[in-house]
Structure 1
């Protein structure tokens, strides 16, 4: 649980990879090739082997992380240096190695980073390795009397498979503040993105970097969010009457949950399949979002009711809305906010089966005459019904509400590693032109 920016009026965006990468190999003296990533375009080693050293071998934490002034030039000069990822910036580690006289750097992921790799504009030859490969090179150094290595940078490759995958650094759910709202909402390209860059600083952002460039390769949810912002602007241009909630709905209900080979998206860090806690509704697909068929709209008053539902009194709600708000006498249910996803929370202490009901309203933004049929993929161990199962839209019937009932027995509910079970509800029109999908999350919550 690391996701932030949890308010339901925000679009919360995670990061995925694209099918472009910058592969490089660390070739060890025993002939093994360890696959990594490098953006370095300067002078290459051209296969020449150099001594390789791991400063952390002695147990010095600062040296293992290649912190400033932690490396002894007498030990690292003329050698390839292994630096552990963490604490100081990745590019700063490279500068420390360069200033100490190293000819190259191997940046090894920690176990917490897993196998997720990003390219950096290092000032010396550097290759990033995943946790497993990083451990392998450190074991080689500790077991060999004269360890050597070289770095082979391969440049740019496209058509990488699988793609997209969920970036290892991307924030994960569940929503720790309001678990009734699934977050993140969706993911978008956020790894090794070609982006505009200022000439006020070098591509590393370090004061000591003299290079100038108009573009840089950057990674982060800070790269994924602009993709969604740009998509939202295009959607608003195409549909000027759509609200922000309608735009978010269009992006979420048309998002892709598979990679380009039509297999489930995986986690970059672990290689395991991902869940809506990782990718929300899926990966942004702007072409489909332009014509979503149905949208889940939300008004300002709906958000006010949501704040009342989660325990805000009118005075606190006014801090957010800056206008007079009267909370309803009957407290609304936060899970009935007209969100394009559903999260069902069951008490861990309940005895026997219990049910949760959710009301949603969809607005037809496609052809005036349309019929949509529901397809239910109930989470494992859960019973789920939808009424009605068919939505018939006409020129005069543009909005229709439906009721979802989810029944589970907490005593016998077996959650997966993410602490939940997952399913979906999909509305499809008769010609299958529009497929409107909502993720379903069922989890357990200890009573307060």
Structure 2
């Protein structure tokens, strides 16, 4: 337990790790960039080898790269060998959202994590000369004197040599100190780092910065430790601030000092940066698997650099607010640690299933999880949903997957003996009739449904004897039937197989992905699986 954890006084409280009393072993795989690369395959595989040798229980990988065939993917190869040894591997989904098909770390034997918000904010208000107030967020350590200051658009403050496209983003070397000095600068989000925009404004002599989202980042506002008073506002509020500046002869504004606010709504919602499915390497496997808090996360921070990670920033702090799937990934890793302690005999697949099937797809207003533009989102963003750690402790049933099924999965991808050799020491006799859609995964994805298909799954009882009844939410234009529709479990470890038939409704199906849900319940447990289908 660490008392007094805060970022410049904000979010102050007592912190503890996700797996209290767990011991941490760190393996360095990333180094100063060489020709643009900093995390090399050889280092990643060497770290996996050492971690397996050391007997770790959980591996948390807040790293990734462009999606590639699994036999060329060092994380997929290393994690396969770790999973064979009973090690649960957790990976980041990537920060390339909000576009679809951007998710990284796409193999089925690890947990891939997206990023969503939590119900805590650090509000900092932008107050305009016409008395309109817009709530943004910030962790700026400095505050303005309580008076209004001239506010200027970055494009109106640009150097003659700068382009409008670069200046609107407050990029390096675009702002004219003669136009900026003593004013608040209005910058647009994009391209360069949010904190870099504040640095450029300060270097040009600005007293503050208003950072406005573009349309793609919508309502996702992040609390950053800016080097000057600043507030990050959403897209619609940004439009209104730009309108005010454009329509006012001498526009002025004020930025309030940040505060800490809890129990905010709606929460969680998906971060705009969180990478999304569908899976570009194996479309039959839904990725990401789960989402967890990854926006404005307070965490321990190195004192080897300033909180903005900019050379200009000479400040040093012990804790910082950071956003990214690199922050959501260790949330899941901590939960895995707790589950490993509670159920040491469970396989990595069983632990993964417990986390996925107990997740929620609702926010704290009992509405479907939204994206950063406050539009209902899909499993391509959140996978099975937002993690619920306490419910994962008692899932009732799990979808367990033996290692041999993963080998058959690789065979079904058509990998040859050379490609298979990075996963297996000896040649393997492939199961000729294995279909990827029948991998015993906690989600069901059929990317090319032609008329109808039958998918099989097997559930293992990890709770008390109970009878489970199935409930189905049909994807639009698809009928789903389950046989049998009742499963009776009499003892722990008992397994039951069932079939799911998906059929295209004549004249009703679309050519895009549609989503449904399959739930097994005994009245106490709700074992939920997303259904993702695209008819052809």
> Normalising TM by the smaller chain, what interval?
over 0.9
Residue 175 of structure 1 aligns with which residue?
279
For the Cα contact (< 8 Å) 1:24–1:127, is it kept in 2? Answer: yes
Residue 28 of structure 2 aligns with which residue?
none
Measure the CA separation in 1 of the matches of 2:425 and 2:209: 54
Question: What displacement does 1:410 show?
Answer: 7.2
Measure the CA separation in 2 of the matches of 1:11 and 1:295: 15
For the Cα contact (< 8 Å) 1:186–1:281, is it kept in 2? Answer: yes
For the Cα contact (< 8 Å) 1:184–1:278, is it kept in 2? Answer: yes
* 306, 313, 337: which one aligns with 2:439: 337
Residue 414 of structure 2 aligns with which residue?
311
- Quick check: 138-147 or 290-299, which moved more? 138-147
Measure the CA separation in 2 of the matches of 1:281 and 1:45: 47
CA 1:248–1:128 in 2, change beyond 3 Å: closer, same or farther?
Answer: same
2:401 is aligned with 1:298 = yes
Secondary structure in 2 matching 1:12: strand
CA 1:397–1:89 in 2, change beyond 3 Å: closer, same or farther?
Answer: closer
Measure the CA separation in 2 of the matches of 1:436 and 1:412: 29
Q: Number of residue pairs matched?
A: 431
* 516, 521, 530: which one aligns with 1:428: 521
Residue 375 of structure 1 aligns with which residue?
471
Secondary structure in 1 matching 2:422: helix
* 487, 491, 497: which one aligns with 1:395: 491
Secondary structure in 1 matching 2:214: coil
For the Cα contact (< 8 Å) 1:45–1:151, is it kept in 2? Answer: no
Measure the CA separation in 2 of the matches of 1:310 and 1:411: 32
For the Cα contact (< 8 Å) 1:186–1:252, is it kept in 2? Answer: yes
Which residues of 2 match residues 46-445 of structure 1 at below 5 A? 46=146, 48-57=147-156, 60-267=164-371, 269-328=372-431, 330-346=432-448, 354-367=451-464, 369-395=465-491, 398-409=494-505, 411-414=507-510, 419-429=512-522, 432-444=523-535
Question: What displacement does 1:397 show?
Answer: 7.1
Secondary structure in 1 matching 2:320: strand
Question: What displacement does 1:35 show?
Answer: 2.0
Measure the CA separation in 2 of the matches of 1:317 and 1:296: 25
Secondary structure in 1 matching 2:362: coil
Measure the CA separation in 1 of the matches of 2:347 and 2:506: 38
CA 1:261–1:139 in 2, change beyond 3 Å: closer, same or farther?
Answer: closer
For the Cα contact (< 8 Å) 1:81–1:104, is it kept in 2? Answer: yes
Question: What displacement does 1:154 show?
Answer: 4.2
Measure the CA separation in 1 of the matches of 2:244 and 2:231: 17
- Quick check: 310-319 or 161-170, which moved more? 310-319
2:120 is aligned with 1:23 = no
2:109 is aligned with 1:9 = yes
Cα-to-partner distance string for 1:8-35 (whole Å, 9 max, x where unaligned) = 1121101111110011211111221122
For the Cα contact (< 8 Å) 1:184–1:277, is it kept in 2? Answer: yes
Measure the CA separation in 2 of the matches of 1:443 and 1:119: 38
Secondary structure in 1 matching 2:195: helix
Gaps of 5+ in 1: none
Measure the CA separation in 1 of the matches of 2:266 and 2:236: 19
- Quick check: 378-387 or 13-22, which moved more? 378-387
CA RMSD of aligned residues (A): 1.7
Measure the CA separation in 1 of the matches of 2:491 and 2:526: 20
What is the TM-score with the length of structure 2 in the denominator? 0.78
Residue 32 of structure 2 aligns with which residue?
none
CA 1:311–1:105 in 2, change beyond 3 Å: closer, same or farther?
Answer: same
Measure the CA separation in 1 of the matches of 2:447 and 2:199: 49
Question: What displacement does 1:117 show?
Answer: 0.8
Question: What displacement does 1:396 show?
Answer: 8.1
For the Cα contact (< 8 Å) 2:504–2:535, is it kept in 1? Answer: no
Residue 84 of structure 2 aligns with which residue?
none
Measure the CA separation in 2 of the matches of 1:192 and 1:375: 37
What is the TM-score with the length of structure 1 in the denominator? 0.93
Question: What displacement does 1:101 show?
Answer: 0.5
Secondary structure in 1 matching 2:185: strand
Measure the CA separation in 1 of the matches of 2:336 and 2:396: 17
Question: What displacement does 1:411 show?
Answer: 4.9
Secondary structure in 2 matching 1:375: strand
Question: What displacement does 1:331 show?
Answer: 4.0
Gaps of 5+ in 2: 1-99
Cα-to-partner distance string for 1:140-189 (whole Å, 9 max, x where unaligned) = 22222111111123400001011111112111111122111111101001
Measure the CA separation in 2 of the matches of 1:54 and 1:423: 46
